[in-house]
Every structure is written in C-alpha cells, then in structure tokens.
Structure 1
C-alpha cells in the first residue's frame, strides 16, 4: 500500500513539474513574441504648419476615419512642443526624425549663411548630384548637410539595408531630411510647367517604372479644377468671414474668396505650383504615397520599412490665408479625408495590426498680426530694412565702419570676423556692443550673443530653446527675438519661427502596432518621437538623439 501511494506521489510530482516547465516555456515564448513583435511598416506623417488646436477647433466636422481614428484607437499627446528655435520647415522635419535639435543635427534653418564659403546655402542643396526626372535644377538635392542619422537610417543599419525607407513630400526638404542618409528614395514634386515627381542621383540614376507610370498618368493635371468648400461654407463657423483684409489670395483673382478656378488661375500662379497652395496638393501627395506602397512593396516582408510622408499644402495655404481663414479650415477637413484614404489603403495593403503611424507637425503658426492688432492684442511687423539702416548707422558712429556685418538671416547677425581682427577688436566685445544697441530697437524683445550661447548653460525659458537651436559652427554672432506676435512678413497671411506657444505647440498622435490607447497632458518634446519609434522597433537610437522614448504610449 505504501509503495502504491509512493508511486502515485512520484507520478504527481513529475506531472506537476512538467506542467510548470511547459507553463514557463509558454510564458517565455509569449514574452519573447511580445518583445519581437514589431510593425511591418512605420508611417511617419508630418503636417506642415499644423497648430495643435486645429485638432480641437475642427473636431466636430472631422470624419471617423482620419484624425479621429488616430485619437480613438491610439494615443494623443496634447501638450507636445518644439524645444528649440527657429521653428521652420527644415529644422522641424530633421528634428522629428533625428530625435535631436539643430544644435546637433545642424539644420539651423531652411537657408542659412555659411561662414566658411561666405554665402547663403539651402538646407538640402547639393551641386554634386544631378536631377532625376527633370532637366531642371530642382532635383539637385540631398541630405548631406544634416549631420546626424534618422531613426529610418538606424532601421536600415539594423536590418542590413533590407528594410526600405521612402520619403515623399511636395517640398524637397520635407521628403529628403526625414528619409535620412541611407534612404532607398526621396521624391518631391516639381511644379511649374512640368508637374512631376522627381528625385536626384543621390538615390538613383533613373526613376523607377512605377514613378514614371504615375507621372505619365497625368494625375496632377486632374486637380486643375474648381476649389470650393467641401461642405456648405455657412457651416464653417470655426473660421472668420470669407472676405476680409487679412488674407493674400492668388494672382488673377481680386478677392481671396471661394470658389477658386485653378484652371483659370494657373497661368498667373506658376502653373502646377498653384496646386501646392491648395488642398489638392495634399490629395496628390496621398495618391503618390499609396502608389509608393504598391510600387515599393512596403510592409510585405519580415523587415520593417519606413514611409515618411509630409503634407506640405497646409503650409502654403496657411501662409497665404492665415490661421483663422475658411481656406485653412477647408484644407484640414480635406486632409482628414486624405488620412482616412491613406489608413484604409494601409489596412488593405499592409493589414490592420501590421503598421504603426505617428502624426505631428514641423511647426505651427501665429494668427495674422494685423488681425490680432485689430482686436487690440499686442502684435506688429518688423522692418528688416529699417533695422539694418539703424544698426549700420550705429556701427559707423562707434567703429567708423559699416563693414562689420556680413549677413542678416534667421534673426541672427553674422559678423565679419576678419575685419574685426584687422581692426584689433575683440569679437566678444563687438557682439556685446551690438546686443546692447539693438535691445532698444522697436519690436526687439531679447538679444543674446554667440559667446553667451557657448559659455552659459540655459535650462528653461526662451533662452533654452535658442541654445538648443544654436549650432556653434553654423549659427551667427548675435541672436535677436521679436516681441510676441511680431513678424517680418506681409500684412496678410500667417508665418512662424519663434519660441512662443503659437509656433511650438503641435499635435502628436500615434496609433497601430505597439501603441496604447490614451492621452496625456504631460509635456512631450518633438525630439521624443524618433527614440520612441526606435523603441517600437528595438533598434539603436539616432546618432545624436537627445529625446527620450515615451514609455507611457507603448504597449
């Protein structure tokens, strides 16, 4: 009897042990699968000149499949900001994908003065490459001026170049900088009299057949039609009156009011370029992005691909018509439909649960200053000519010369260091002298010297943002800050570039594989996006990344 009981106990012991081992093995497998599960495709969307409040202001008129789908299925970071200035297109796109600021990635503006060669350079300009898809110089572009890698570069390195990267935007810089240095391709739209998607020899020597087919389809020409409001204009109660004095409009039309006959207006507005400045430019971008998913077989194998899409038309519309215009509202309602079309395409082509999307902006925008002034809100316009004349008069009186300044750009003054040395002056003294002078000028709120940016560590306020945007090798000798809502711009339309909330506060929506559902009011930075995508993929962070993964958005 004792032997029987002993045998039963021994059998139970081994059975229990085996179950525990199997359970442990299952748990380990489950955990390993969780660790190894990653999307087949990352889609990064940058909306050019999108304020955060465009999400909330137009929310009731959005459909269910675009912005609302991202919010309802994904994570909404409601207090997302740029942590540097200047807030322009090129630095914005570079910072989103590199996870760092101009201090490190080097893209300090769309254009900047090169202190070595003594002339202005373009962020993506590259005379060492040739255009592909056009005979025009519009294709002579590359990411060579960007100093650090993007998360797309890191994915290419991680997969031994088997994961693809494709960048797409109407603007060359919106396609090139996000895609990084190792991209399979970046494509941008050359308007004028051609209306074609092009690239450069940095990526390839001839356009792939699918791109040629798209260009030959004359899809761009199909958008030369009447732009009217998507819905009855009387329902656009979130915007100002259609006819007012704060909007620009198009050449050939007396008023900036709906409708706009693009076929009739194209000749006086640079041909195909007028499409960029309407929502149809975003339609065309979506058309091309969907064609790229098919043409490049994105998300079709075990190696994660990256598709970087930038919607540029919202920036053109915003600059032209301003933040409160009905044109901007219509552009976003139509963009919402484009997002739905893109997400439906991803569902069908890549599969639900197989992709991850983030959406943000490269900067936001200020209300038209003349409109704010009409409401008695402090605002105004800065005259660059008057500023230069006044400063040169000071330099003539103080130093008996007007040759101490080489360039004014991006709210920075670049000094003639050779001349300063020749005159036996100290650079730091001249910088400080100019700073002390211009702080008294109209519409100048703050002034900092290059020496202070290099020798003082700022940890808060506008000073921190200026320092994050200051690149020791490329930036100027004196940096000045305008008063709030002051622009060096026309009296109509909106612009951007500052460290104020109206320029820094932009959306950050994430959804898809690896992303939780929820929202936060915790402050997040634009530089957190790239390391978060790296964390989703389990790859190395971009080489200069200074942001942190947003753990609370990750499953």
Structure 2
C-alpha cells in the first residue's frame, strides 16, 4: 500500500482515539498498558542531522550548456544568473553514454548511473522478447488519476531498474520525506520521482490542460490538485506568443524568417507573432502550449502550488521536488537551436525560474533549500543550416539503410530475413532465422557492423559480442557500452557521423555522443553549496551522488558517479 494511503489510515485512527497526527509526526506512541515503565527510560538526546529542508532538482529539457552563456547578457539577476553567481557552476559537464534522449537522461541524473544499469535505453525501444515497441513508462496495470479512462495516465516507473536519490531519501526517512515529480512530460516527472514517491504529475493536453497522475502513486488526486485543475489553469496561456522584447534585439539568434523551422499547422511561416488561440484547433488544442514557453510557465505555476499546498520544506525532514521544464525541448525540435523562438523561450524560462526561486525564499527561506539545475541532453544545429554554412552535416535515411542491409545479408548468407528490427541506431537479429543459416550469430553481427562502418553517414559500429566481452575504458566505445543494456539492447549498435541525424530537414534533434548533445549545464545553489566555478570534466552520473552526500544518505543502489566535493561546504 502506498505511503500516502498508509499515513491517511493512521491519521483516521488517531482522530478516532481523540488525538491528532501532524504531517511528519511519528505515529508510534507508548501503549498505556505496556509492561515497560516508560517513565524510567530516558529519551535519547535529539541531535538533528545537518540537512537542507528541501531539495529542488530542475531539469531543462534539451538545454545545451551554451544557452547559459549565449543568452547571459539578456537574463535577469534572479534566475539563471543567481544560480551561476551565487552557486557552483560546473562548466564542463557531459553525458558519458548514448543515447542522449529524455528518458535515459532523466533516469541517469537521478540514479547516478547509465542505461547499462538502470535499463532505460530510450524513450521507446524494441522489446525483442515481446516483438513490439514499448514506451519507457507505460504500465497497463495502473489507471489514470485526474481524468478517467485515459491512457495518458497509465504510467509508472516499473521499467526503471535502479533506485533513485529520491527513493533513497524515502528509505532513509522511513517515508516521512515528501517526494514529488512535476513535468509536462510523463517521463520527466516519473523517472526523477522514482518508485517510492508521494506523487508524480504530468500535463494532459488535448481538450484539457490539466495535471494528471496514476494509481501507482495514489487512489485519488489531492484536493488542491483537483481545485487547480478545476480552475481551467491552461486557458490563460492560449494567447499571443510574441517576443518578450523588440525582435530586433534578438542578436544571439538567426533571422526570424528562414528555411530551417517548422511552422505550426495552419500558419504559413514560422515567424512571430503566434496567435495560439486561433492555432489551437489545428494543433492539439491545449497541447499546443507544450511547444511554447508558456508550457514552462504552466509547470512553474503547478510547482509553486505544490510547494505551498504540500507544505514542502516546512519541518526538519528533507523533502524533494523534482521539476522538469520540457517546453524547451518541444520548441527546439520545431524551430531549432539558432531560432529566435528558442532564445525567447529561454528568456521567459529565466523569469519562471526566478519566480520559483522567489517563492522558495518566501515559503522555505533562502539558505534552507538546495537547488541543482541540469539538462537531459543538448541538441544539434539544424543540419541544413550547417550545410549552408559549409559544415559537414546531413541526414540519414534509415529505410534505405535497412533495405540495403537486407540485400547485402541475402547475398552473403542466402537469407533476407535475418533482421528483426532496426531502431534507435540498433540492429536486432532474428535469431530463429540466424539459426537456419550456416553461420553463427557473432559472424552475422560482425558482417552487419562491417557493412554499417562502410555505409554513408555512419561513423562507427559495435557488436553485441564486443559490448559483453570487452571492458572499454574510454572513447566512443565506452560511451556506447555505458548505454548498452545486455538484456534490452540490440545486437549491433551504429554511430552516425557528426551533425548527421535521422530527422526532417526542419527543426533539430539529439541522441548522439557528440558534444553538442552531451555538454549540458550543471549548477548547484543554496544550502551546503560553495560559491565557485570549475572547468573539470564531470559526468551527469555525478549529480545523484553529490545530492546524496549533501543529504548524508545512501547513494542510489547502482550509482557509478562520484560526489562533486568542490561544490559542497564542509558542514
């Protein structure tokens, strides 16, 4: 039974006995009929452990490190700059594995390890045992909370194999810590919140702009969530999106009118302004908000409401709020790294982060909470734009690759059905077909890898045999291996050339092991954090051990990262 239900039952019991139970009060009280003379036992001294009252983890989806510096002069003093100036800034922080996608990124931040251990190898992946694609957080065994009979709420963290720092906090405090995850995306809320959380909430768009959850966490949404949703909170964001400042001042971006951006349906060109109210009907109604900076504002609204209504950081047991701002990713995919839209989105996010920090100051008190800010991956500039600037860049046609590979396998082995699936830059063998030919699976793997290495647009290829039999210690091979899960991953993994993507010719994407995808911000601020800056190379897997060390709790059970002691004060 979930912690929330358990505590509710205890509360009802205490009320029936003519007593009350505070939010964090220990329900175990001496029995009046106990044979032990409680008056003869001296209570131990209460020497409180030095811990922050609240940890706030902020993940900005698709945030490249250079967004901190490229737009720095345009940020206010109370958002990104406050974290950078008054906190600790690791300027050379990277992902140490591929693929660099949202789900593996969030999972790695909070588990302190990589997909090789935590098992989240993509947002979606091919399940070779079921013979079908699966989504990282879908769960047919739960139901939606907040909206009835809706598949968007049938989600849980059950495919996450490792514990999270949030899980370890719950275990350490015997469930007294309050842990909540919030995001536009389900995976951005669920994977950080972990398995033992009080709640995870994500946006349900379409005809309703509300936050929902699943029965994995609760039987019914709290009253404050119901009231928030009943107020039609997203309606105010279906309005005009124009630049925050005069458009001629957006000098950190390319021209607003260009050939590299994808306009919303029913709008001829991807240029400002965007009349969201008129565009909504052709673009998913409230889902349109996700692809604008107002999606981040909507998340900030809900996070602020959660801090207040859940009384987070209001006692001596640390709480944990995991917030993921996902609209940056939607905007980046649609308009690209160099767009005015992405610059405006970050200028507005800066104000939302300032609003969140200001609320924390008021509710919890500056100096009583700790914030970290990072990203789940970066992004590449639009390859068509790079090609125009005479860079080596381009697009990879996966269908052509599969067709040509099938032809080559037929010519080599006399069987054109040796491939079961190609997805996420992985080739899955059809083992039944492989067993019917006069060659081993290792021989087929090596043939495919050799074919891939000589195929236009592919840089490197690695076999399953190499991944499970060799301990790579550096370079690209080690990054591939850290993202390779022996049970869930494919039989051949290939790496595309730099700035070559599987995507349309408008907008941007991510997923590679190139620095534009791996280099992301890492800022720590607040209780227990030094002021400073370091150019030492750090890994995303260092975040959870650092927060665990600050909290003085166990590391997540599969953690491979290290605490970043430069950022921590000697408490």
Q: Is TM-score (shorter-chain normalized) higher than 0.5?
A: yes
- Give TM-score scaled by structure 1 length: 0.93
Alpha-carbon distance in structure 2 between the residues aligned to 1:35 and 1:292: 26
Mapping 1:543-554, distance limit 5 Å: 543-554=557-568
Q: How far off is 1:458 after superposition?
A: 1.1
Paired position in structure 1 for 2:85: 72
Paired position in structure 2 for 1:348: 362
- 1:526 partnered with 2:537: no
| 1:224 equivalent among 238, 247, 250 | 238
Alpha-carbon distance in structure 2 between the residues aligned to 1:117 and 1:44: 35
- 1:482 partnered with 2:496: yes
> Gapped runs of 5+ residues in structure 1?
1-31
Q: How far off is 1:323 after superposition?
A: 0.3
What is the SS of the residue equivalent to 2:304? helix
- 1:383 partnered with 2:392: no
- 1:195 partnered with 2:195: no
Paired position in structure 1 for 2:303: 289
What is the SS of the residue equivalent to 2:252? coil
Q: How far off is 1:33 after superposition?
A: 11
Alpha-carbon distance in structure 2 between the residues aligned to 1:109 and 1:304: 31
Paired position in structure 2 for 1:60: 73
Paired position in structure 2 for 1:167: 181
Alpha-carbon distance in structure 1 between the residues aligned to 2:56 and 2:472: 35
- 1:131 partnered with 2:141: no
Q: How far off is 1:273 after superposition?
A: 0.7
- 1:90 partnered with 2:141: no
CA contact (8 A) 2:415 2:437 kept: no
Q: How far off is 1:36 after superposition?
A: 2.7
Q: How far off is 1:194 after superposition?
A: 1.4
Paired position in structure 1 for 2:19: none
What is the SS of the residue equivalent to 2:257? coil
What is the SS of the residue equivalent to 1:85? coil
Q: How far off is 1:515 after superposition?
A: 0.3
What is the SS of the residue equivalent to 2:459? strand
Paired position in structure 2 for 1:17: none
- Runs of 4+ deviating beyond 4 Å: 32-35
Alpha-carbon distance in structure 2 between the residues aligned to 1:193 and 1:110: 25
Q: How far off is 1:418 after superposition?
A: 2.1
- 1:182 partnered with 2:217: no
CA RMSD across the alignment: 1.2
Paired position in structure 2 for 1:403: 417
Mapping 1:312-327, distance limit 5 Å: 312-327=326-341
Alpha-carbon distance in structure 1 between the residues aligned to 2:438 and 2:554: 49
Q: Deviations over 1:182-209 (max 9, x none)?
A: 0000000010111111011101111111
Q: Deviations over 1:94-151 (max 9, x none)?
A: 0000000000000000011112111111000110111111231000000000000000
Alpha-carbon distance in structure 2 between the residues aligned to 1:137 and 1:161: 29
Larger CA deviation: 152-161 vs 125-134: 125-134
Paired position in structure 1 for 2:384: 370
Bigger helix fraction:
1
What is the SS of the residue equivalent to 1:36? coil
| 1:114 equivalent among 127, 147, 150 | 127
Alpha-carbon distance in structure 1 between the residues aligned to 2:303 and 2:423: 34
Alpha-carbon distance in structure 1 between the residues aligned to 2:219 and 2:131: 32
Paired position in structure 2 for 1:458: 472
Paired position in structure 2 for 1:310: 324
Alpha-carbon distance in structure 2 between the residues aligned to 1:182 and 1:354: 24
Paired position in structure 1 for 2:345: 331
Alpha-carbon distance in structure 2 between the residues aligned to 1:461 and 1:365: 20
Q: Deviations over 1:347-386 (max 9, x none)?
A: 0011111100000000000000000000000000000111
Alpha-carbon distance in structure 2 between the residues aligned to 1:184 and 1:246: 43
What is the SS of the residue equivalent to 1:128? coil
Alpha-carbon distance in structure 2 between the residues aligned to 1:183 and 1:323: 34
What is the SS of the residue equivalent to 1:120? strand
Corresponding residue pairs, total: 524
Alpha-carbon distance in structure 2 between the residues aligned to 1:216 and 1:77: 41
| 1:50 equivalent among 46, 63, 75 | 63
Paired position in structure 2 for 1:144: 158
Alpha-carbon distance in structure 2 between the residues aligned to 1:529 and 1:436: 37
What is the SS of the residue equivalent to 1:37? coil
| 2:287 equivalent among 265, 273, 286 | 273
Q: How far off is 1:35 after superposition?
A: 9.0
Larger radius of gyration: 1
Q: How far off is 1:425 after superposition?
A: 3.0
Q: How far off is 1:440 after superposition?
A: 1.2
What is the SS of the residue equivalent to 1:523? strand
Paired position in structure 1 for 2:248: 234
Alpha-carbon distance in structure 1 between the residues aligned to 2:186 and 2:72: 30
Alpha-carbon distance in structure 1 between the residues aligned to 2:281 and 2:338: 28
Paired position in structure 1 for 2:526: 512
Paired position in structure 1 for 2:484: 470
CA contact (8 A) 2:198 2:217 kept: yes
- Give TM-score scaled by structure 2 length: 0.91
Alpha-carbon distance in structure 2 between the residues aligned to 1:295 and 1:465: 42
Alpha-carbon distance in structure 1 between the residues aligned to 2:134 and 2:233: 33
Residues 128 and 328 of structure 1: is their aligned pair in 2 closer, same or farther, counting only changes over 3 Å? same
CA contact (8 A) 2:209 2:233 kept: no
CA contact (8 A) 2:413 2:437 kept: no
